[in-house]
């Protein structure tokens, strides 16, 4: 996995949780590049509690995880219909960008 660096400061976002360090699989980075979309746009959604295309049950689980300290997950569909997952670990030490098949 690769560490992700962003020139955009987190101060520009009102995050609902601490994301820790950002890392990404090469597959996720390739998918973002292929789709000509910025990683930051999806990270911003994740940090603000826009969980993307999760079912209602998983959305509720994320909301509970915010207060009880469990893992957080978001799912987004890229322009070419490929899925992008973003997972923040329960201890909030790391947030990972990956494709479902890389889990």
Residues 46-84 have pLDDT tens digits of 999 999 999 999 999 999 999 999 999 999 999 999 999
* pLDDT tens per residue, range 15-35: 999 999 999 999 999 999 999
For β-strands 2-3 and 83-88, DSSP reports them as unpaired
Q: Cα–Cα distance between 8 and 35 in angstroms, integer?
A: 20
pLDDT at 9: 55
pLDDT at 27: 98
pTM of this prediction? 0.89
Q: Token pair for residue 67? A: 């207060």
Start-to-end CA span in the chain (Å):
12
Helices (H), the chain: 26-34, 39-47, 56-68
Q: Cα–Cα distance between 102 and 48 in angstroms, integer?
A: 24
The pLDDT of residue 7 is above 80: no
């Amino acid at each position: 996995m690769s560490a992700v660096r962003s020139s955009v400061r987190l101060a520009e976002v009102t995050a609902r949780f601490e994301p820790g360090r950002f890392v990404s699989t090469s597959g996720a980075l390739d998918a973002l590049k292929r789709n000509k979309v910025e990683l930051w746009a999806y990270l911003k959604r994740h940090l603000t509690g826009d969980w993307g295309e999760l079912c209602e049950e998983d959305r509720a689980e994320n909301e509970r995880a915010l207060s009880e300290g469990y893992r957080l997950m978001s799912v987004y569909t890229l322009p070419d219909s490929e899925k992008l997952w973003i997972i923040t670990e329960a201890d909030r030490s790391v947030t990972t960008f990956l494709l479902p098949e890389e889990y």
